[in-house]
Amino acid sequence: MKLDNIVTSRLTKRFGDIVAVDHIDLDVPEGSIFGLLGPNGAGKSTTVRLLCTLLRPTEGEAVVAGHNVVEAPVEVRRVVGVLPEEGNHTLYQRMTAYENLEYFAKLYGIPEEEIPRRIEELLRFMDLWERRDDPAGELSSGNRQRLALCRALLHRPKVLLLDEPTASLDPVAAKRVRELILSLSKKYGMTFFINSHNLAEVQRICDRIAIIDQGEILLAGETDDLRSRLKVEQVFRVRVTNDVAKAASVARSAEFVREVSTEADTIVVKIADPSSNNSRLMRMLLDAGVNIVEFSEEEVTLEDLYLSVIREVKK
Ligand SMILES: Nc1ncnc2c1ncn2[C@@H]1O[C@H](COP(=O)(O)OP(=O)(O)OP(=O)(O)O)[C@@H](O)[C@H]1O
Ligand SMILES: [Mg+2]
């Protein structure tokens, strides 16, 4: 049976009048990749800081890998690895990649004879071995972030807390970090807790998601469930080879189509409940003699998601 690796119950953190984290209940099963999704100021970083014992809860409890964050902070720190917000600022910019890891390995009390082997394994895993003698400050931001990840992994944590691991990266470097997270999860099976404000990212890598806003969890569940439950109105682009105006008027006549606009040879449509309505629209267009060459989905924005979450919560 899989145990829950992170459990919070009514976990709360106040800063004066601000309730940054407001009575949240979370369960993160062992070995899962969990995403805490929310806009700026929602309480994501505060939650991570509570889980890694950097902050003390005002109220409520959190247990990480069986250890209570208030009663057993030393044990918690031993089993968690943290990539803080702006994680690469925690590296020494003038020390080389290798020296940074050596320094932190000693700080963590990793046995001296074990250190070189562990550093080499991590640097190779992250594709940084060739960069080992470069000063951290001279690495690209993607490589620096991967080095910060190595740092978080040095003591072989059971739980990794990653605070916006791709926020400052370009799309290619961000993709590489996501791939590494997935292969780390596959190879070592640790539990991941990932903060993000990027819905597409969370949907791609997390098997469970909780949505937080103003310190409160609005909704939580398995990624696939949430996707189908929320019935987000999604935007699709339909590229046609013949009559764009006709395609647009057919789309406008469908009761499940919310908005239609045209761009050159493409109609852009917002569709309610796309899992059942996409094929209906496609059939209507084909029946009207429209020639479809491409039917693609635009990524749902966080704003779209919030609107549908709020609708769902109010039901
Ligand atoms: N040390 C602190 N003192 C006072 N207020 C704080 C402190 N840390 C966070 N807050 C407040 O708590 C709320 C939640 O902040 P938090 O940093 O957890 O949000 P976040 O979801 O990580 O946001 P972001 O996406 O911007 O990183 C915000 O209103 C923030 O201003
Ligand atoms: Mg934050």
Q: What is the pLDDT of residue 3?
A: 66
Atom number in ligand 1 closest to CA 16: 4
Counting ligands in written order, the one closest to the CA of 20 is: 1
Q: pLDDT band at 63, cuts 50/70/90?
A: very high
Average pLDDT over residues 193-204: 88
Q: Where are the alpha helices (DSSP H) in 58-170?
A: 73-79, 97-107, 115-125, 141-153
Residue nearest to atom 3 of ligand 1 (CA): 15
For the cut 80, the answer to whether the pLDDT of residue 145 exceeds it is: yes
The secondary structure of residue 72, as a DSSP letter, is -
Q: How far is the CA of 121 from the centre of ligand 2 (A)?
A: 30
Fold for domain 233-299? Answer: Alpha-Beta Plaits (3.30.70)
Atom number in ligand 1 closest to CA 39: 25
Residue nearest to atom 2 of ligand 1 (CA): 15
Residue nearest to atom 27 of ligand 1 (CA): 40
Neighbours of 103 (CB within 10 A): 14
Give residue limits of the domains in the chain: 4-229, 233-299
Atom number in ligand 1 closest to CA 21: 14
Are 4-229 and 233-299 equal in CATH topology?
no
Residue nearest to atom 26 of ligand 1 (CA): 40
No. of helices (H) and no. of strands (E), the chain: 11, 14
24 closest CA partner among 53, 55, 51: 51
Q: What percent of the chain has pLDDT over 70?
A: 91
For the cut 90, the answer to whether the pLDDT of residue 27 exceeds it is: yes
Q: What is the pLDDT of residue 123?
A: 95
Q: How far is the CA of 21 from the centre of ligand 1 (A)?
A: 9
User: Is the four-CA dihedral 233, 235, 240, 243 of positive or negative sign?
Assistant: positive
Q: How far is the CA of 221 from the centre of ligand 1 (A)?
A: 24
CATH superfamily of 4-229: P-loop containing nucleotide triphosphate hydrolases (3.40.50.300)
- Please state, in angstroms and as integers, the Cα–Cα distance from residue 281 to each residue in 252, 264, 299, following that order: 10, 20, 19
Average of per-residue pLDDT values in the chain = 90
Atom number in ligand 1 closest to CA 215: 14
- Do the Cβ atoms of 59 and 8 come closer than 8 Å? no
Q: What is the pLDDT of residue 246?
A: 93
Residue entry with tokens 């429209």 = 290
Atom number in ligand 1 closest to CA 55: 1
Contacts 24+ apart (CB under 8 A), 269-274: 269/235, 269/236, 269/238, 270/233, 270/234, 270/235, 270/236, 271/233, 271/234, 271/235, 271/236, 272/231, 272/233, 273/231, 274/233, 274/234, 274/236
Which of 62-71, 230-239, 241-250 is modeled with the greatest confidence? 62-71
Q: How far is the CA of 45 from the centre of ligand 2 (A)?
A: 4
What residues does ligand 1 touch, defined as CB less than 6 Å away? 15, 18, 20, 38, 40-46, 85, 197
Q: What is the pLDDT of residue 153?
A: 93
- Do the Cβ atoms of 143 and 131 come closer than 8 Å? yes
Residue nearest to atom 1 of ligand 1 (CA): 15
